[in-house]
């Protein structure tokens, strides 16, 4: 795919490489100039040209696949190999030990690793991969029990379907001495926090973690027992009766519909409208050693995200064909298309328009907002993964340790200067604070203000807050 002579030429060229400190200095200066990028310096040649990136077989790995298939990585002088990983823990471990240069990650992974929940390692992100994209699915048996509690209009359930309608089912299980079990993909996954948020909003306690006591089950005081299941195994695990439902990304909710084994009851778009989902993560050491490479990777992925959302998702059918390849997601095109092309099927035949179910570039989806990081940290605290009370300043400092908008800004400004992107499609880097305005569109109507994390935690009836400690 790449002319060997060109590749060798690139490999032999060695220019003076900017140090990481100078990259940060350039970023700081760019934040004080207009988006015309007249003051932006040319990004130097990549320090490392041959790269291996990991991913999990989910549709939201699309920016990596598109950047590869469309030649955006090569445009940046990067020769990338994409490799599916067995699970999120293996993926993170391989980034930490250097077997992978970077990876499609759960947004909570860089944060969890950096604060030492699980494996301790400093991981950073300069690129948010998408918004939304997850759903909660129940087995046919649980759905039939829930359905009786749900209001209907014109013969169809009224959405969004709250966990309030699941609570009588969970209470019945408890009265019969039976555990109610659900799957999620990883302890620091968006799926875990979204599922917990939805359950708690309906009065169902999803359980606490107590790592300081050696209890990382997340099931202390739980009315619904949540456990880890790898995404591609979710449908089969539910079909076997091991779990009664799950929260996962696509295409594994739609797979349950196609197999006739379950019903997706709610999307994460309905739990928290336009919530951040995956990120692209690298080790802080790798970022320091390869500043130009890092910027070039982000440039390629911004272009891929732009392509995915261009012209009202006009490229999505082609994206579906790419993702259906066995090297990427490997699910049937029909299953992937069900959500990637702006619709979502709940109960079989109940297909509804959800144009923003998968967002890759709109709404500043790719920008690494500090407030997004802080939301994840509040949920870690709420459910006991962070055992002790933390100050508002701690949340802010931790977000800045992990999220790197200065790197994103350089990449975006370079694309604008090259005529490959439009300034209006990005935040105003001269005034951007890294905080979204207070967000109100949650299923429980609680407002999230990232500048006041402790006040946010106080607003919940279920969950740790203040000086609480198990």
| Chain segment 41-89, per-residue pLDDT in tens | 579 999 999 999 999 999 999 999 999 999 999 999 999 999 999 999 9
156 vs 80: CA distance, rounded Å: 47
Distance CA 345, CA 350 (A): 6
Among 8, 18, 1, which Cα is nearest to 296's?
18
- Measured from the Cβ of residue 311, the count of other Cβ atoms closer than 10 Å reads 8
Q: Kindly list the distances between the CA atom of residue 145 and the CA atoms of 16, 44, 150, 154, 337, in Å, as whole numbers in the listed order.
A: 66, 60, 10, 20, 29
Find the mean pLDDT for residues 430-450: 96
What is the reported pLDDT for 381?
Answer: 98
What percent of the chain has a predicted confidence (pLDDT) above 70? Answer: 91
* 427 pLDDT more than 50: yes
Q: Give the contacts of 319 (CB within 8 A, at least 6 positions apart).
A: 62, 66, 308, 340
Backbone φ and ψ of 396, nearest 5°: -65, -45
Give the pLDDT of residue 119.
87
Contact 218, 207 (CB under 8 A): yes
Q: Tell me what the mean pLDDT of segment 284-291 comes to.
A: 98
pLDDT for residue 5 is more than 70:
no
pLDDT score of 35 more than 90: no
405 versus 23: the higher-pLDDT residue is 405
pLDDT at residue number 232:
87
| Phi, psi of 132, deg, nearest 5 | 65, -155
The domain made up of 4-132+277-346+354-368+403-425 is a member of CATH 3.30.70.260: no
pLDDT at 23 over 50: no
Given pLDDT bands bounded at 50, 70 and 90, which one contains residue 366? very high
The predicted structure's pLDDT at residue 1? 46
- Contact status, residue 203 vs residue 190, Cβ threshold 8 Å: no
Residue 293 has pLDDT above 50, yes or no: yes
Average of per-residue pLDDT across 115-133: 96
- Whether the per-residue pLDDT at 9 is higher than 50: the answer is no
Tokens 């969890």, residue? 112
- The 3-class SS string of the chain reads CCCHHHHHHHHHCCCCCCCHHHHHHHHHHHCCCCCCCCCCCCCCCCCCCEEEEEECCCHHHHHHHHHHHCCHHHHCCCEEEEEECCCHHHHHHHHHCCCCCEEEEECHHHHHHHHCCCCCCCEEEEEECCEECEEEEEEHHHHHHHHCCCCEECCEECCCCCHHHCHHHHHHHHHCCCCCEEEECCCCCHHHHHHHHHHHHCCCCCCEEEHHHCEEEEEECCCCEEEECCHHHHHHHHHCCCCCEEEEECCHHHHHHHHCCEEEEEEHHHHECCCECEEEEEEHHHHHHCHHHHHHHHHHHHHHHHHHHHHHHCCHHHHHHHHCCCCCCCCCHHHHHHHHCCEEECCCCCEEECCCCEECCHHHCCCCCHHHHHHHHHHHHHCCCCCCCCCHHHHHHHHHHHECHHHHHHHHHHHHHCCCCCHHHCCCCCCCCCCCCCECCECCCCCECCCCHHHHHHCCCCCCCCCCCC
Checking if the pLDDT of 326 tops 50, the result is yes
Question: pLDDT, tens digit, for every residue of 177-187?
Answer: 999 999 999 99
pLDDT for the residue 41: 57
CATH topology for 134-274? D-Maltodextrin-Binding Protein; domain 2 (3.40.190)
Q: Residue 161 in contact with residue 263, Cβ under 8 Å?
A: no
Does residue 28 carry a pLDDT above 90? no
Summarize pLDDT for 103-118 with one digit per residue, the tens: 999 999 999 999 999 8
The pLDDT of residue 236: 97
Q: Where in the chain is the domain with CATH 3.40.190.10?
A: 4-132+277-346+354-368+403-425, 134-274
pLDDT tens digits along 216-253: 999 999 999 999 998 889 999 999 999 999 999 999 99
Q: What is the average pLDDT score of the chain?
A: 91
**Is the predicted pLDDT of residue 19 greater than 90, yes or no?**
no
User: Is residue 228 within 8 Å of residue 184, measured between CB atoms?
Assistant: yes
Nearest to 129 by CA among 311, 275, 342: 275
Give CA–CA dist 438/435, Å, rounded: 9
When pLDDT is cut at 50, 70 and 90, the band that residue 13 belongs to is very low
Tokens of 108: 């909570």
Percent of the chain with pLDDT over 90: 89
Q: What is the pLDDT of residues 271-281, one digit of tens each?
A: 999 999 999 99
């Amino acid at each position: 795919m790449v002319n060997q002579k060109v590749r060798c030429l690139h490999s032999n060229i060695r220019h003076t490489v900017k140090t990481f400190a100078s990259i940060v200095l350039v970023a700081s200066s760019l934040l004080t100039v207009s988006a015309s990028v007249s003051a932006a310096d040319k990004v130097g040649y990549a320090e490392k040209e041959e790269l291996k990136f990991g991913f999990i077989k989910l549709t939201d790995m699309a920016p990596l696949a598109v950047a590869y298939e469309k030649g955006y990585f090569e445009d940046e002088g990067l020769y990338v190999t994409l490799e599916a990983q067995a699970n999120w823990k293996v993926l993170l471990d391989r980034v930490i030990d250097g077997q992978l240069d970077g990876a499609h990650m759960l947004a909570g992974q860089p944060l969890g690793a950096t604060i030492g929940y699980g494996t301790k390692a400093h991981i950073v992100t300069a690129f948010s991969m998408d918004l939304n994209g997850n759903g909660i699915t129940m087995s046919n048996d649980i759905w039939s029990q829930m359905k009786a509690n749900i209001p209907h209009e014109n013969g169809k359930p009224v959405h969004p379907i709250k966990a309030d309608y699941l609570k009588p089912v969970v209470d019945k299980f408890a009265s019969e001495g039976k555990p109610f079990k659900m799957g999620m993909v990883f302890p620091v996954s968006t799926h875990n926090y979204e599922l917990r948020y939805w359950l708690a909003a309906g009065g169902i306690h999803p359980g606490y973690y107590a790592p300081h006591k050696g209890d990382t089950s997340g099931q202390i005081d739980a009315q619904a027992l949540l456990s880890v299941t790898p995404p591609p195994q979710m449908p089969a695990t539910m079909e076997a009766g091991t779990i009664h439902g799950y929260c996962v990304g696509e295409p594994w909710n739609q797979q349950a519909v196609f197999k006739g084994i379950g019903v997706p009851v709610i999307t994460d778009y309905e739990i928290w409208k336009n919530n951040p989902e995956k990120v692209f993560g690298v080790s802080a050491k790798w970022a320091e050693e390869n500043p130009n490479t890092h910027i070039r990777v982000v440039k390629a992925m911004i272009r891929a995200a732009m392509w995915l959302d261009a012209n009202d998702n006009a490229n999505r059918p082609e994206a579906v064909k790419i993702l259906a390849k066995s090297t990427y997601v490997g699910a049937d095109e029909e299953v992937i298309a069900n959500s990637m092309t702006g619709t979502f099927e709940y109960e079989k035949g109940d297909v509804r328009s959800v144009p923003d179910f998968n967002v890759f570039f709109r709404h500043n989806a790719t920008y690494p907002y500090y407030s997004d990081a802080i939301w994840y940290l509040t949920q870690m605290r709420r459910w006991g993964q962070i055992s002790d009370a933390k100050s508002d300043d701690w949340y802010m400092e931790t977000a800045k340790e992990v999220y790197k908008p200065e790197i994103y800004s350089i990449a975006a400004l370079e694309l604008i200067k090259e005529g490959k992107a439009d300034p209006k499609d990005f935040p105003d880097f001269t005034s951007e604070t890294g905080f979204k305005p207070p967000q109100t569109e949650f299923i429980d109507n609680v407002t999230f203000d990232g500048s006041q994390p402790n006040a946010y935690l106080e607003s919940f009836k279920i969950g740790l807050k203040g000086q609480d400690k198990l």
